[in-house]
């Protein structure tokens, strides 16, 4: 049984999960610290979430050697 592909899927799943958790925590904390409310808070939270999420994926690609956007192509 080839466990290399299973390990890649596990690393991919855990990497995306960590990126989601980090992005949500950082963007939520920044919005909370500024005291924003209403629609402005939602917009800022979304923009920060997207930026931090893709930054976390880029860090995963650089240091974890997992290419999220090229997954499945050898």
Record the pTM: 0.70
Mean of per-residue pLDDT scores for the chain: 81
Question: pLDDT tens, 4-19?
Answer: 777 777 877 888 888 8
Q: d(Cα 72, Cα 58) in Å, to the nearest integer?
A: 17
Cα dist from 21 to 5, 49, 56, 69, whole Å: 24, 10, 10, 19
Closest CA to 41 of 30, 55, 25: 30
Between these two residues, 74 and 30, which has the higher pLDDT value? 30
Give the pLDDT band (50/70/90) at residue 52. confident
């Amino acid at each position: 049984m080839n466990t290399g592909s299973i390990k890649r899927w596990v690393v991919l799943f855990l990497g995306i999960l960590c990126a989601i958790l980090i992005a949500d925590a950082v963007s939520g904390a920044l919005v909370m610290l500024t005291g924003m409310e209403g629609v402005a808070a939602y917009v800022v939270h979304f923009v920060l979430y997207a930026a931090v999420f893709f930054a976390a994926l880029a860090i995963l690609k650089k240091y974890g050697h997992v290419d999220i956007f090229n997954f499945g192509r050898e």
